[in-house]
């Protein structure tokens, strides 16, 4: 999701990094350009974000209905590792009504997915979202895009999935890595973790090796994450985390939320 | 005859004194006495072995090498920057086979060899001597300050096929007049033989004084290069198979900014090597993020068929 003002400063760097790993990438804006951007029937502005999202999904459903199994919505300041998204979704069925992201607890009974961290809807979930608006079961009742979409998901019977890895580490992150990774002495939940549905962790356990996204990532950091993810590596290093190995499969992934 | 002879003798004496004066003056300049080796001055490069070179080694040889390349890290700290010290210890220091901290003065909070010394060159001098005396069976030495971040596995890969019984002095090379030296900030690599020769020349207070001459005080990195040069050891630039430098005195972010301002077509490709060994100028928090970025964050399904295996360190949670 982007706009004319951000193409040079933000979206350009997404196009230069992770966008090409998507099977298909669409840059949603209020204006059609040669970037290329899709011009949706909206105006720019934070209070228009949910309208833009609704129109974006409607556009995709109208023009690309048979081109996808999953649809990822991300912002122009989100860094995404597409291979890890593929991996997270590989065990899921796109024909089922389900969506994944960083699950938040408040406002919506079943929880909702953080907008900034990016969320991904199954084919069926997209169909139900469109149907919701067609049948006026879902409306633009709030400008808070992620929460409002989450409410629509609940209304339309779309299940919020658990995107954590086999060690219970989060894969979608609404903030940059330094927010979570720095070890802190045990403390009460800081403000940026207050919404988390599953009990959050600070320090190295915060984040999966196969992380899918970070948010609030701008130009230099975008390339830096690209370099750290895809280029720089320790030669010969035997990584500790191997999700497919027999040992880790035996570890169960709890889905019950822990009370805050 | 006698008068001619005495003039000749006077001339000889004068000439002799003049020469002596000249050579004495010469030894006070920071310039180098030329040795046979640098009549043919080449820009020395050390490249990491290519996969072809490695494949020429048999599997048992490769396994033997994985365990054989062991690194003693000489980390030069100061109590006034305690947080960097603690960070180095908690991050990249764990990947050294042995990491020893050498401090200018003792600090209660962290364990270090107290050099009881403020002069930079004297500190380095003492630390290297101590490292040599305590190296056990470790044959490679990496010298850095805790403001540097290092990926020791990539260092091991660089020196993999090199014999530590040969003299090696590797890093990011810089030139100062005729002197080529390894930049301290991006880390210095010494083989056992290079260190042995260095410790030997330390005994020579003329060639390699423990305290820099106050008139021509050289930085410790240049002093090191000079002492090594006396022993026939020359600085070599560490680079990958594409010629990209492996030792960086800047942070990843800074190098990327450079690429962006140059409007490179591929900012990441142009930035830095995939097997980079050092970066510098990062904050302690950034170093924690580097541990995650280097040792954990990766795309599922991208596997490398490396010829060596380096195991993760024991008792560590951030790699």
Report chain A residues whose CB lies below 8 A from the CB of B299: 81-84, 210, 229-230
Cα–Cα distances in Å, from A11 out to A17, A35, A39, B12? 10, 9, 15, 81
Q: Is the peptide bond before A36 cis (omega within 30 degrees of 0)?
A: yes
Exposure of A250 by Cβ count < 10 A (0-12 exposed, 13-18 middle, 19+ buried)? Answer: exposed
Q: What is the mean pLDDT of chain A?
A: 93
| pLDDT grade for A245, boundaries at 50, 70 and 90 | confident
Cα–Cα distances in Å, from B185 out to A85, B281, B308? 38, 9, 28
Structure tokens at B287: 């170093």
pTM for this entry? 0.87
Record: contact B294-A236, CB cut-off 8 A: no
A 71-100 residues with CB < 8 A to B: 81-84, 86-87
**What is the DSSP secondary-structure string of B74-114?**
EEEE-GGGHHHHHHHHHTGGGGSSEEEEEESS--SSS--EE
ipTM of the complex: 0.92
Structure tokens at B226: 């000079």
pLDDT of residue B14 exceeding 90: no
pLDDT of residue A127 exceeding 80: yes
How far A200 CA lies from chain B's nearest CA (Å)? 17
**What integer pLDDT is reported at residue A180 of this predicted model?**
95
| pLDDT grade for A6, boundaries at 50, 70 and 90 | very high
Supply the angle between the helices B252-261 and A219-226 in degrees, to the nearest 10: 120
Q: Distance (Å, rounded) from C-alpha B36 to C-alpha B21?
A: 24
Other CB atoms within a 10 A radius of the CB of residue A185 amount to 5
pLDDT tens per residue across span B294-308: 999 999 999 888 888
pLDDT tens per residue across span A146-173: 999 999 999 999 999 999 999 999 999 9
Average confidence (pLDDT) over B88-98: 97
Residue B62 in contact with partner chain A when CB distance is under 8 A: no
Report chain A residues whose CB lies below 8 A from the CB of B306: 235-236
How many beta-carbon pairs below 8 A join chains A and B? 142
Average confidence (pLDDT) over B61-85: 87
Report chain A residues whose CB lies below 8 A from the CB of B83: none
Least confident segment among A124-128, B32-36, B50-54: B32-36
Report chain A residues whose CB lies below 8 A from the CB of B295: 234, 237, 239
pLDDT of residue A126 exceeding 80: yes
Nearest partner of A21 among B38, B89, B302, B246, judged by Cα: B302
Q: Distance (Å, rounded) from C-alpha A51 to C-alpha A43?
A: 9
Measured in degrees and rounded to the nearest 5, phi and psi for residue A122 equal: -70, 165
pLDDT tens per residue across span B241-269: 999 999 999 999 999 999 998 877 899 99
Measured in degrees and rounded to the nearest 5, phi and psi for residue A17 equal: -120, -95
Residue B151 in contact with partner chain A when CB distance is under 8 A: yes
pLDDT tens per residue across span A53-103: 999 999 999 999 999 999 999 999 999 999 999 999 999 999 999 999 999
Structure tokens at A227: 């370099």
**What integer pLDDT is reported at residue B57 of this predicted model?**
65
**What integer pLDDT is reported at residue B204 of this predicted model?**
83
Nearest partner of A66 among A126, A120, A5, judged by Cα: A126
Cα–Cα distances in Å, from B132 out to B72, B77, B113, B158? 10, 18, 14, 21
Record: contact A236-B295, CB cut-off 8 A: no
pLDDT tens per residue across span B122-160: 999 999 999 999 999 999 999 999 999 999 999 999 998
Record: contact A220-B151, CB cut-off 8 A: no
Report chain A residues whose CB lies below 8 A from the CB of B290: 228
How far A207 CA lies from chain B's nearest CA (Å)? 9
How far B44 CA lies from chain A's nearest CA (Å)? 24
């Amino acid at each position: 999701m982007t706009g004319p003002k951000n193409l040079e400063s933000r979206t350009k760097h997404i196009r230069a990094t992770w966008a090409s790993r998507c099977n298909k990438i669409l840059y949603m804006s209020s204006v059609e350009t040669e970037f290329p951007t899709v011009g949706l029937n909206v105006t720019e502005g934070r209070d228009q974000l949910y309208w833009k999202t609704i129109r974006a999904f409607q556009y995709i459903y109208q023009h690309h209905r048979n081109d996808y199994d999953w649809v990822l919505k991300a912002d122009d300041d989100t860094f995404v590792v597409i291979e890890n998204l593929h991996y997270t979704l590989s065990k899921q069925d796109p024909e089922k009504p389900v969506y994944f992201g960083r699950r938040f607890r408040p406002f919506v009974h079943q929880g909702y997915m953080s907008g900034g961290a990016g969320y991904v809807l199954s084919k069926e979930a997209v169909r139900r979202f469109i149907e919701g608006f067609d049948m006026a079961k879902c409306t633009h009742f709030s400008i808070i895009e992620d929460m409002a979409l989450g409410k629509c998901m609940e209304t339309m019977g779309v299940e919020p999935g658990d995107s954590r890895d086999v060690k219970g580490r989060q894969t979608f992150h609404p903030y940059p890595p330094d927010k979570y990774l720095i070890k802190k002495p045990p403390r009460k939940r800081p403000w940026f973790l207050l919404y988390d549905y599953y009990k959050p962790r600070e320090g190295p356990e915060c984040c999966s090796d196969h992380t899918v996204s970070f948010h609030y990532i701008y130009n230099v950091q975008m390339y830096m994450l690209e370099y750290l993810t895809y280029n720089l590596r320790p030669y010969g290093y035997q990584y500790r985390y191997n999700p497919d190995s027999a040992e880790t499969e035996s570890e169960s992934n709890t889905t019950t939320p822990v009370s805050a | 005859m006698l008068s001619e002879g005495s003039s000749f003798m006077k001339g000889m004496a004068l000439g002799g004194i003049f020469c002596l004066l000249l050579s004495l003056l010469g030894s006070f300049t920071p310039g180098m006495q030329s040795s046979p080796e640098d009549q043919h001055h080449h820009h020395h490069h050390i490249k990491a072995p290519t996969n072809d070179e490695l494949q020429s080694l048999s599997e048992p040889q490769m396994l033997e090498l994985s365990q054989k390349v062991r690194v003693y890290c000489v980390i030069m700290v100061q109590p006034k920057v305690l947080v960097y010290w603690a960070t180095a210890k908690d991050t990249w220091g764990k990947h050294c086979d042995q990491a020893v901290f050498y401090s200018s003065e003792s600090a209660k909070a962290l364990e270090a060899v107290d050099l009881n010394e403020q002069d930079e060159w004297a500190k380095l001098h003492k630390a290297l001597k101590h490292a040599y005396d305590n190296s056990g069976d470790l044959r490679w030495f990496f010298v850095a300050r805790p403001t540097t971040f290092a990926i020791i596995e990539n260092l091991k890969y660089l020196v993999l096929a090199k014999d530590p019984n040969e003299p090696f002095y590797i890093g990011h090379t810089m030139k100062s007049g005729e002197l080529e030296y390894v930049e301290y900030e991006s880390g210095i690599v010494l083989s056992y033989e290079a260190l042995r020769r260095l410790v030997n020349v330390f005994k020579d207070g003329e060639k390699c004084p423990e305290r820099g001459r106050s008139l021509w005080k050289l930085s410790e990195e240049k002093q090191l290069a000079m002492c090594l040069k006396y022993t026939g050891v020359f600085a070599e630039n560490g680079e990958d198979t594409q010629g990209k430098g492996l030792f960086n005195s800047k942070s990843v972010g800074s190098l990327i900014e450079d690429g962006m301002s140059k409007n490179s077509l591929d900012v990441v490709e142009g930035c830095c090597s995939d097997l980079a060994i050092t970066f510098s100028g990062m904050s302690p928090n950034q170093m924690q993020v580097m541990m995650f970025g280097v040792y954990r964050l990766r795309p599922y399904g991208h596997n490398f068929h490396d010829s060596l295996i380096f195991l993760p360190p024991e008792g560590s949670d951030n790699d």
